[in-house]
């Protein structure tokens, strides 16, 4: 089954996003069957080879941004999609509330420090977008501060792109009912109860506020250089399939090449 995940799931730059129009149950005709598993396995294998090529060429980097409400599957996406990637060339950064030092700088300071170097893949589990999401929902800074950050983010991401750092941004879109189901599964599983916190339930009360904040971020910050992809994530297997294929499609579009050897291999002689 041929599906252009990049084309199907992109938040078209310049077009207003209404999340109510994006079905979190969508699978683009795919089913959880042998064909899906084979396609995901092929994408995972291809990603491994493309990462090796990215590292060898050493001319560009890939930055993957994962955002979503609690229990959307950010950790699971990293664990499953990046399973075959060489950890030497991949760094995951999880953004927590800023430290005292980080808060004393501009909001992008700590983010820029975590951007991958050429040859590497960087993954942000949450990101600079928290500064137009949680900051907005909880009124942590005035509106005239966070409202300017959309343009600041776009300029920041443009600078990265101009310096050969390709950016892929994934919003893992789940329904409120699916979030409740996943919270309950954590409560019922003794090995996963540690992941539940009072903050999860407090944030759930702000669901509509977060929806509005995400819609603005997706609308204002999906650009040709750094597009957003809205991933229907109620079905974990489809989430992994879609994200995996978009990463592969993006790396293949770079048309990377292995560099020439630093020595004339024809003159090498074994003793």
pLDDT in tens, the chain (271 residues): 679 999 999 999 999 999 999 999 999 999 999 999 999 999 999 999 999 999 999 999 999 999 999 999 999 999 999 988 999 999 999 999 999 999 999 999 999 999 999 999 999 999 999 999 999 999 999 999 999 999 999 999 999 999 999 999 999 999 999 999 999 999 999 999 998 888 888 999 999 999 999 999 999 999 999 999 999 999 999 999 999 999 999 999 999 999 988 887 777 887 7
Q: How far is CA 17 from the centre of its chain?
A: 18
pLDDT value at residue 201: 87
Give tens-digit pLDDT for 79-135.
999 988 999 999 999 999 999 999 999 999 999 999 999 999 999 999 999 999 999
pLDDT value at residue 199: 86
pLDDT value at residue 268: 81
pLDDT value at residue 154: 98
pLDDT value at residue 198: 87
pLDDT value at residue 2: 79
Measured between alpha carbons, how far is 206 from 208 in angstroms, rounded to an integer? 6
Please, what's the b/e burial string for 145-177 (b: 16 or more CB within 10 A of its CB; e: otherwise)? ebeebbeebbebbeebbeeebbbbbbbbbbeee
Tell the CATH superfamily of the 5-255 domain.
P-loop containing nucleotide triphosphate hydrolases (3.40.50.300)
pLDDT value at residue 176: 97
pLDDT value at residue 1: 67
């Amino acid at each position: 089954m041929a599906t252009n995940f990049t084309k199907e799931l992109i938040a078209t730059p310049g077009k207003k996003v209404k999340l109510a129009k994006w079905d979190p149950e969508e699978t683009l005709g795919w089913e959880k069957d042998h064909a899906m598993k084979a396609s995901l396995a092929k994408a995972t294998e291809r990603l491994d080879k493309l990462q090796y090529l990215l590292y060898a060429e050493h001319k560009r980097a890939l930055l993957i941004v994962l955002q979503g409400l609690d229990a959307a599957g950010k950790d699971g996406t990293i664990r499953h999609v990046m399973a075959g990637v060489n950890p030497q060339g991949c760094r995951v950064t999880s953004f927590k509330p800023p430290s005292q030092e980080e808060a004393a700088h501009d909001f992008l300071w700590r983010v820029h420090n975590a951007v991958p170097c050429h040859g590497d893949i960087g993954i942000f589990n949450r990101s600079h977008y928290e500064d137009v999401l949680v900051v907005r929902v909880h009124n942590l800074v005035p509106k005239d501060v966070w409202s300017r950050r959309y343009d600041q983010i776009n300029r920041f991401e443009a600078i990265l792109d101009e310096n050969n750092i390709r950016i892929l941004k994934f919003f893992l879109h789940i329904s409120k009912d699916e979030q409740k189901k996943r919270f309950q599964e954590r409560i019922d599983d003794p090995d996963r109860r540690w992941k539940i916190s009072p903050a999860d339930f407090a944030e759930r009360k702000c669901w509509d506020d977060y929806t509005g904040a995400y819609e603005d971020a997706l609308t204002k910050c999906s650009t040709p250089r750094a597009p957003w992809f809205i991933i229907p994530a109620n079905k974990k297997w489809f989430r992994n399939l879609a994200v995996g294929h978009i990463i592969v499609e993006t790396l293949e579009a770079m048309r990377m090449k292995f560099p020439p050897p630093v020595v004339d291999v024809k003159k090498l002689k074994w003793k």
